[in-house]
């Protein structure tokens, strides 16, 4: 369907703006939105801030698949940027290590603005972690992530610090990649495409704090996301870099999520999701990026049928450079294998994009979390100035 009739224009404009003005209510508006978009971007019915539409790719069951593949790794990852400038990340990971099948790991960071990152990490063999099916949750040592859509809780506790993050997803799960796409990419699902969060923490004796006897420090409100990743192949065999940009704007606009996968042979596979306030998300798989690494700007053009998204994503400040192997001793590095050779550069970013179809333009802008995951090189890739890259 193309929007050639004038009667569609006000309806389409309202749907792009996220307004459910259909007399039959939000459900009918979502169905109309899906019908209008079918000729353009792929439609994923999971995302909606206005109601639960369900999705097979929710990804929040917390039950690991426990594959026997030698390079199997599965994890749930959460990232949040708080109003005071603190960044919180947490990853619950199950993996097959050379000497420990289905090994459980939890790695988290709390990076206050202007301060050093506080790292909370522990690993346990299969007997040292568990899945709970009552209130679904995954526990590694004393660290636990739990909950059902839309409400979740991440509680971390060791001698470095205690950290509690409560967060509420703004939409159902969305697939970024799917099994069998022919590219051997990790299977990536946003179980919380957007999330509102609150958090508290207190320092442990390892960093000079009082531990359980100390006072809690409030991080305030924040925004972020949660994703679920499953991979059957060692990441350094399938990817060289993985760059992500996720909106954390608290607006009623469409919010972008960009995943940019670069393989060891230089092939690029880029996916752009546009998340509306109501109705299904739009998925663009024909995405072109012109990068200026000197300025930190990326110029985006995405197309699907008659629809386009154009604009700029700009890195505005470094939040954290996380180099796992710098935190491991020799034995831990040997046990971790390729997992130890991953560097993660985390930034704050802004975006200014225009979503256009049939002569109608919607301009959106806001703040985002950006991450450049460098795999197998040990350090960041060098600067190259401008270059054009295609999917």
- Quick one: 281 and 365 in the same domain? yes
What is the per-residue pLDDT across 150-169, written as a single tens digit (0 to 9) for each?
Answer: 999 999 999 999 999 999 99
- Quick one: 359 and 370 in the same domain? yes
Look at residue 2 and tell me if it is in a domain.
no
- Quick one: 227 and 246 in the same domain? no
Range of the domain at 311: 234-377
- Quick one: 229 and 319 in the same domain? no
Q: Which of 233, 248, 263 is the last residue of a domain?
A: 233
What is the DSSP annotation of 345-371? EEEEEEEEEEEEETTEEEEEEEEEEEE
Q: Number of folded domains in the chain?
A: 2
- Quick one: 268 and 283 in the same domain? yes
What is the per-residue pLDDT across 361-384, written as a single tens digit (0 to 9) for each?
Answer: 999 999 999 999 999 854 444 333
What is the per-residue pLDDT across 276-302, written as a single tens digit (0 to 9) for each?
Answer: 988 899 999 999 999 887 887 999 999
What residues contact 73, with CB distance under 8 A and at least 6 apart?
Answer: 93, 94, 95, 96, 229, 230, 231, 235, 339
- Quick one: 134 and 163 in the same domain? yes
Look at residue 213 and tell me if it is in a domain.
yes
- Confidence at residue 18, expressed as pLDDT on a 0 to 100 scale: 43
Look at residue 40 and tell me if it is in a domain.
no
Q: Which of 170, 199, 233 is the last residue of a domain?
A: 233
- Quick one: 219 and 359 in the same domain? no
**Distance of alpha carbon 374 from alpha carbon 323, whole angstroms:** 10
Look at residue 14 and tell me if it is in a domain.
no
- Quick one: 216 and 327 in the same domain? no
**Distance of alpha carbon 65 from alpha carbon 136, whole angstroms:** 14
Percent of the chain beyond pLDDT 70? 78
- Quick one: 97 and 229 in the same domain? yes
Q: Which of 233, 252, 286 is the last residue of a domain?
A: 233
Half-sphere exposure of 132 (CA within 13 A, CB side): 14
Q: What separation in angstroms does the CA of 75 have from each of 93, 190, 289, 310, 335?
A: 4, 12, 28, 32, 18
**Distance of alpha carbon 227 from alpha carbon 173, whole angstroms:** 9
CATH number, domain containing residue 161: 2.40.370.10
Per-residue pLDDT of the chain (391 residues; tens, 9 = 90+): 233 333 334 434 444 444 333 333 333 333 334 333 434 466 675 554 433 333 334 666 899 999 998 899 999 999 999 999 999 999 999 999 888 899 999 999 999 998 999 999 999 999 999 999 888 999 999 999 999 999 999 999 999 999 999 999 998 899 999 887 777 899 999 999 999 999 999 999 999 999 999 999 999 999 999 999 999 988 888 999 999 999 999 887 899 999 999 999 999 999 999 999 888 999 999 999 998 878 879 999 999 999 999 999 999 999 999 998 887 777 676 666 666 789 999 999 999 999 998 889 999 999 999 999 999 854 444 333 444 444 4
- Quick one: 352 and 268 in the same domain? yes
Hey, which residues does 309 pair with through a beta bridge? 302, 355
């Amino acid at each position: 369907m193309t929007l050639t009739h004038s009667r569609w224009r006000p309806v389409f404009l309202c749907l792009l703006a996220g307004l459910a003005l259909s007399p039959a209510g939000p459900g009918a508006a979502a169905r109309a939105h899906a019908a209008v978009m079918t000729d353009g971007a792929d439609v994923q019915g999971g995302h909606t801030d206005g109601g639960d539409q369900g999705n097979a790719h929710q990804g929040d069951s917390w039950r690991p698949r426990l594959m026997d593949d030698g390079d199997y790794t599965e994890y749930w990852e959460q990232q949040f940027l708080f109003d005071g400038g603190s960044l919180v990340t947490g990853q619950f990971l199950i993996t097959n290590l050379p000497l420990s099948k289905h090994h459980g790991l939890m790695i988290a960071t709390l990076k206050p603005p202007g301060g050093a990152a506080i790292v909370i990490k522990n690993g346990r063999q299969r007997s040292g972690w568990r899945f709970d099916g009552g209130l679904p949750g995954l526990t590694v040592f004393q660290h636990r992530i739990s909950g059902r859509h839309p409400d979740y809780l991440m509680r971390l506790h060791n001698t470095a610090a205690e950290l509690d993050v409560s967060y509420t997803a703004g939409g159902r799960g969305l697939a970024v990649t799917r099994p069998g796409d022919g590219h051997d990419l990790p299977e990536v699902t946003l179980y919380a495409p957007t999330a509102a969060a609150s958090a508290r923490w207190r320092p442990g004796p390892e960093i000079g704090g009082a531990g359980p006897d100390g006072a809690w420090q409030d991080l305030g409100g924040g925004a972020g996301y949660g994703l679920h990743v499953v991979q059957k192949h060692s990441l350094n065999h399938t990817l060289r870099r993985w760059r992500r940009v996720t909106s954390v704007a608290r607006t009623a606009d469409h919010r972008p999520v960009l995943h940019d996968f670069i393989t060891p042979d230089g092939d690029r596979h880029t996916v752009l999701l546009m998340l509306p306030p109501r109705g299904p998300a739009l998925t663009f798989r024909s995405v072109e990026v012109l990068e200026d690494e000197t300025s930190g700007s990326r110029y985006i053009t995405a197309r699907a049928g008659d629809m386009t998204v154009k604009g700029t994503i700009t890195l505005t400040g470094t939040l954290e450079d996380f180099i796992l192997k710098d935190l491991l001793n020799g034995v831990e590095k040997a046990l971790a294998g390729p997992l130890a050779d991953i560097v993660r550069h985390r930034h704050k970013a802004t975006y200014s994009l225009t979503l256009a179809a049939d002569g109608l333009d919607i301009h959106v802008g806001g703040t985002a979390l950006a991450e450049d995951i460098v795999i197998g090189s040990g350090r960041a890739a060098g600067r190259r100035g401008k270059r054009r890259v295609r999917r």
